[in-house]
Amino acid sequence: MKIAKEAYDLRRGGFTLVELLVVIAIIGVLVGLLLPAVQAAREAARRMSCSNNFKQIGLGIHNYHAAFNQLPKHGTGTFRSSIGSEEGGNPTTGGGQNGMQLSYLVGLMPFIEQQAMWESIANPSRSNVSKTTMTGSWSAMGPGPSQPEYVPWATDISTLRCPSDPGRGLPAMGRTNYAACLGDALRMQAWGSFRFDASAGTWIENSTRAEVTRTTFRGAFGFRKDYAFQDILDGLANTIICGEITTHLGDRDIRTEAPNSSSDQWSAARTGIFLNPKFAETSNWKDPSRPLFWCNGGAGCTNPTLLTGELRKRGFRWADALPIYTGFTTILPPNSETVLETNDGSSCMGSASSRHQGGAHVLMGDGAVKFITDSIEAGNSRAMPVDALSDAGRPSPYGLWGFLGTRANREVISNEF
């Protein structure tokens, strides 16, 4: 009797199958409720880290200005000696010139705790990505920023990367998520005022181009232009100087992969994005069922021809001053589509963008980092950008977003944004 009672008590102390299933179900519900909170906490931490990176860049820009009385130049470096000369150098013999095409980030290196990187760029070196023997040295300040064998250009720098952006590795070179603000216009965006003079055998500033760029270079940075804080007449606290951008992941994202609008910045009759910034929407290029992606054979849309070759993708080269890589405009709101003027990428309408939910970070002239939402007041997105000399001083048609992107239009910003 005693043995039977003990066996009975042992059976009474265990779990039934139903009880076990109920416990498992409760645990599953709790995990399901907890995981989104964990993901949200992780994203909040990544977003804070991204903001801290931007603060470091802002501090670097201010320290650079204190040292040189100007902002780091966007479109700088060494001139090539003649048209058609090799800018990229050679992985074995070195050499190369960068054609004044280095981004503002290159000059910023010593001011964001990248002194070793700066030393490797500023001096001749004999190392390449493939680690083969070199018989000659790369030129001081490096070859063209498209040279994949030049170690500095191919290096990912953690300060230049947003932790929320998963883009890594080839076919990109060194990526960046932080771009220079080019304002609210497009013309001469990647030409600047310099032009090759065959008789002089070098590049010189052209007076006609200089006059145009004085009208259309309305942002804190301009290609091959020197700017200082004293040029930001709207006030440093009211002017965006840099913005966050996403890098391309190979997925037809409208923010990172660009078709061209077949326009011509030299033509008197404007077409494409020079006439209408919403050219892609007018052309029905976006997938209506997936608005953040270009049409790819879906119903109700037209496939655009996306650029291939030459790796013209957003954020793919941190050292390259071409706007597709390290520039952005305040024409369309954050996380809008990116469209190039032509296949050579000489003008690019690409806004700020990010992998964060609902907006993107921007760096103000006073060093403050703000999170701008996609719904910021952006005026008339179909208005033609400032283009001709007769447009000089015209208020930005792109609302508060356009006002923040221009440095000297004397727009008054009365509300917190």
Could you state, in order of their start, the residue ranges of all structural domains in the chain?
34-405
Per-residue pLDDT reduced to its tens digit, 393-405: 788 899 899 899 9
Closest C-alpha to 143, from 319, 326, 346:
319
Measured CA to CA, the distance from residue 37 to residue 49 in angstroms comes to 18
Residue 244's Cβ-count burial label (10 Å; 0-12, 13-18, 19+) is buried
Contact of 228 with 408, CB cutoff 8 Å? no
User: What pLDDT sits at residue 196?
Assistant: 66
Instruction: State mean pLDDT over 305-321.
Output: 81
Closest C-alpha to 194, from 100, 326, 274:
100
Contact of 340 with 312, CB cutoff 8 Å? yes
User: What pLDDT sits at residue 363?
Assistant: 95
Residue 408's Cβ-count burial label (10 Å; 0-12, 13-18, 19+) is middle
Task: Determine the number of helices (DSSP H) and then strands (DSSP E) in the chain.
Answer: 9, 11
Per-residue pLDDT reduced to its tens digit, 228-237: 999 998 889 8
DSSP for residue 288: T
User: What pLDDT sits at residue 66?
Assistant: 94
79-93, 335-349, 364-378: lowest mean pLDDT where? 79-93
120 or 169, higher pLDDT: 120
| 118 pLDDT tier (thresholds 50, 70, 90) | very high
Residue 206 neighbours by CB distance under 10 Å: 17
Instruction: State mean pLDDT over 208-215.
Output: 79
User: What pLDDT sits at residue 117?
Assistant: 92
> 83 pLDDT exceeds 70?
no
Instruction: Tell me how far CA of residue 268 lies from CA of 191, 271, 278, 325, in angstroms.
Output: 18, 9, 20, 28
Structure pTM?
Answer: 0.83
Indicate the helix (H) or strand (E) that contains 222: none
Closest C-alpha to 216, from 276, 259, 263, 265:
265
147 or 271, higher pLDDT: 147
